[in-house]
Amino acid sequence: MSVHHAEHPAGPEITRLPTLSLALAREGPAAVVRVGGPLDLATVDRFVGLVDRLVAGGPPAVLVLDLSGVTFFCAAGVNALLAVRRRVASAGSALVVREPSRITVKVLDIVGLKDEFTTE
């Protein structure tokens, strides 16, 4: 018995996953990382990797994570945020979360971590 798959008449669909954007800026003694898009299992390694490079190359006095552009935030994002907090603290820097998106605040609230980060 053989099975034949017919292509849909409209042609194959192209699925594009939302991409993560990371932008780095300086504000006086602070390094600001602006995060846009999803913080999920597929993207958190890039996010944590950027922070690792920042703290390894002479850590800033303050690391500001601008999370206003985060469009999806899940357990992987929570774990990444906690890992970043540990790395930044180990480097002797302060961490500030700026304008977390609604989904970020909601998930942090659900897991009981909403008040665990310094926010502005």
* Residue 47 domain-assigned (yes or no): yes
Q: What pairs with residue 34 in β-bridges?
A: 23, 66
Ramachandran region, residue 75 (left: φ > 0; alpha: ψ -120 to 50; beta: rest): alpha
CATH code of residue 49: 3.30.750.24
Tell me the residue type at 99: E
* Residue 49 domain-assigned (yes or no): yes
* Residue 10 domain-assigned (yes or no): no
* End-to-end Cα spacing for the chain: 64
pLDDT score at 6:
45
* Residue 48 domain-assigned (yes or no): yes
Q: How many domains, the chain?
A: 1
Domain that holds residue 34: 21-110
Tell me the residue type at 53: R
In this prediction the pTM is 0.84
pLDDT score at 16:
59
* Residue 8 domain-assigned (yes or no): no
SS (H, E, C) 25-94: EEECCEEEEEEEEEECCCCHHHHHHHHHHHHHCCCCCEEEEEEEEEEEECHHHHHHHHHHHHHHHHCCCE
* Residue 67 domain-assigned (yes or no): yes
* Residue 57 domain-assigned (yes or no): yes
pLDDT score at 3:
47
* Residue 117 domain-assigned (yes or no): no
pLDDT tens for the chain, residues 1 to 120: 444 444 545 555 555 556 899 999 999 999 999 999 999 999 999 999 999 999 998 899 999 999 999 999 999 999 999 999 999 999 999 999 999 999 999 999 999 999 999 999
